Chain A
Amino acid sequence: MNPLILIILLTTLILGTMMVVTSSHWLLAWIGFEMNMMAFIPIMMKNPNPRATEASTKYLLTQATASALLMMAVIINLMHSGQWTITKLFNPTASTLMTVALAIKLGLAPFHFWVPEVTQGIPLTTGLILLTWQKLAPLSILYQISPSINLHLMLIMSLLSILMGGWGGLNQTQLRKIMAYSSIAHMGWMTAILLYNPTLTLLNLLIYITMTFTMFMLFIQNSTTTTLSLSQTWNKMPVITTLTMLTLLSMGGLPPLSGFMPKWMIIQELTKNDMLIVPTFMAITALLNLYFYMRLTYSTALTLFPSTNNMKMKWQFNSTKRTPLLPTAIVISTMLLPLTPMLSILL
Chain B
Amino acid sequence: MLKFIIPTIMLMPLTWLSKNNLIWINSTAHSLLISFSSLLLLNQLNDNSLNYSLMFFSDPLSTPLLILTMWLLPLMLMASQSHLIKEPPVRKKLYITMLITLQALLIMTFTATELILFYIMFEATLIPTLIIITRWGNQTERLNAGLYFLFYTLVGSLPLLVALVYLQNTTGSLNFLLLQHWAQPLSTSWSNIFMWLACMMAFLVKMPLYGLHLWLPKAHVEAPIAGSMVLAAVLLKLGGYGMLRITSMLNPLTEHMAYPFLMLSLWGMIMTSSICLRQTDLKSLIAYSSVSHMALVIAAILIQTPWSYMGATALMIAHGLTSSMLFCLANSNYERIHSRTMILARGLQVFLPLMATWWLLASLTNLALPPTINLIGELLVVMSVFSWSNPTILLMGTNIVITALYSLYMLIMTQRGKHTHHINNITPSFTREHALMALHIIPLLLLSLNPKIILGPLY
Given A271-B166, A302-B135, does the pair A287, B154 have CB atoms closer than 8 Å? yes
Confirm or deny: B253 has a beta carbon within 8 angstroms of a beta carbon on chain A: no
User: Contact at B169–A272, with CB atoms within 8 Å?
Assistant: yes
User: Chain A: residues with CB nearer than 8 A to chain B?
Assistant: 249, 254-256, 260, 264, 267-268, 271-272, 276, 279-280, 283-284, 287, 290-291, 294, 298, 301-304, 337
Smallest CB separation, A40 vs chain B (Å)? 37
Alpha-carbon gap, A198 to B105, bound state (A): 33
| Contact present for A283 and B162 (CB under 8 Å) | yes
**How far is A160 from B456 in the complex, measured between Cα atoms in Å?**
47
B191: nearest residue on chain A (CB-CB)?
A276
Q: What is the minimal beta-carbon distance from A288 to any residue of chain B, in angstroms?
A: 10
B: number of interface residues (CB 8 Å): 29
Q: Who on chain B is nearest to A265 by CB?
A: B165
Contacts of A272 in B (CB 8 A): 169
Footprint of A on B, CB under 8 Å? 105, 119-121, 123-124, 126-127, 131, 134-135, 143, 146-147, 150-151, 154-155, 158-159, 161-162, 165-166, 168-169, 191, 194, 198
| A284–B194 alpha-carbon span in the complex (Å) | 16
Q: Name 25 interchain pairs, CB-CB below 8 A, sorted by A.
A: A256-B105, A256-B120, A256-B123, A260-B120, A267-B165, A271-B165, A271-B166, A272-B169, A279-B162, A280-B159, A280-B162, A280-B198, A283-B161, A284-B158, A284-B159, A290-B151, A291-B147, A298-B134, A298-B143, A301-B135, A302-B131, A302-B135, A302-B146, A303-B134, A303-B135
Query: What A residues does B191 contact at CB under 8 A?
Result: 276
Closest to A307 in B: B140
Closest chain B residue, CB of each to CB of A245: B131
Tell me how far the C-beta of B122 lies from the nearest C-beta in chain A, rounded to whole angstroms. Answer: 8
Please determine whether A264 and B161 come into contact, CB atoms closer than 8 angstroms: yes
Query: Complex Cα distance A298/B194, Å?
Result: 35
Chain A: minimal CB distance from B229 (Å): 20
**Bound-state Cα–Cα, A279 to B161, Å:** 10
CB contact between A287 and one of B146, B151, B194 (< 8 Å): that residue: B151
- B162 engages A255 (CB within 8 Å): no
In contact, B143 and A280 (Cβ under 8 angstroms): no
A294 touches B120 (CB 8 A): no
A-B contacts counted at CB < 8 A amount to: 70
| Pair B127/A283 contact, Cβ less than 8 Å | no
**How many angstroms between the C-alpha atoms of A267 and B158 in the bound complex?**
10
CB A297 to nearest CB in B, in angstroms, measures: 9
Partner of B155, one of A260, A264, A267, A284: A284
Q: Which of A249, A256, A280, A303 contacts B158 (CB 8 A)?
A: A280
Q: Indicate which residue in B121, B154, B161, B165 contacts A290 across the interface (CB closer than 8 Å).
A: B154
Contact between chains at B161 and A267 (CB < 8 Å): yes
In the assembled complex, the Cα of A254 lies from the Cα of B149 at a distance in Å of 14
Please, which residues of chain A bring their CB within 8 A of the CB of B134?
A: 298, 302-303
* Contact A255–B166 (Cβ < 8 Å): no
Q: Please measure, in the bound complex, the distance between the C-alpha atom of A247 and the C-alpha atom of B442, giving whole angstroms.
A: 43
**In contact, B124 and A267 (Cβ under 8 angstroms):** no
Bound-state CA distance A294–B150 (Å) is: 10
Which B residues are CB-close (under 8 A) to A290?
Answer: 150-151, 154
- When the two chains form the complex, which single residue of B143, B150, B162 contacts A276, counting CB atoms closer than 8 Å? B162
Q: How far is the CB of A33 from chain B (nearest CB, A)?
A: 37
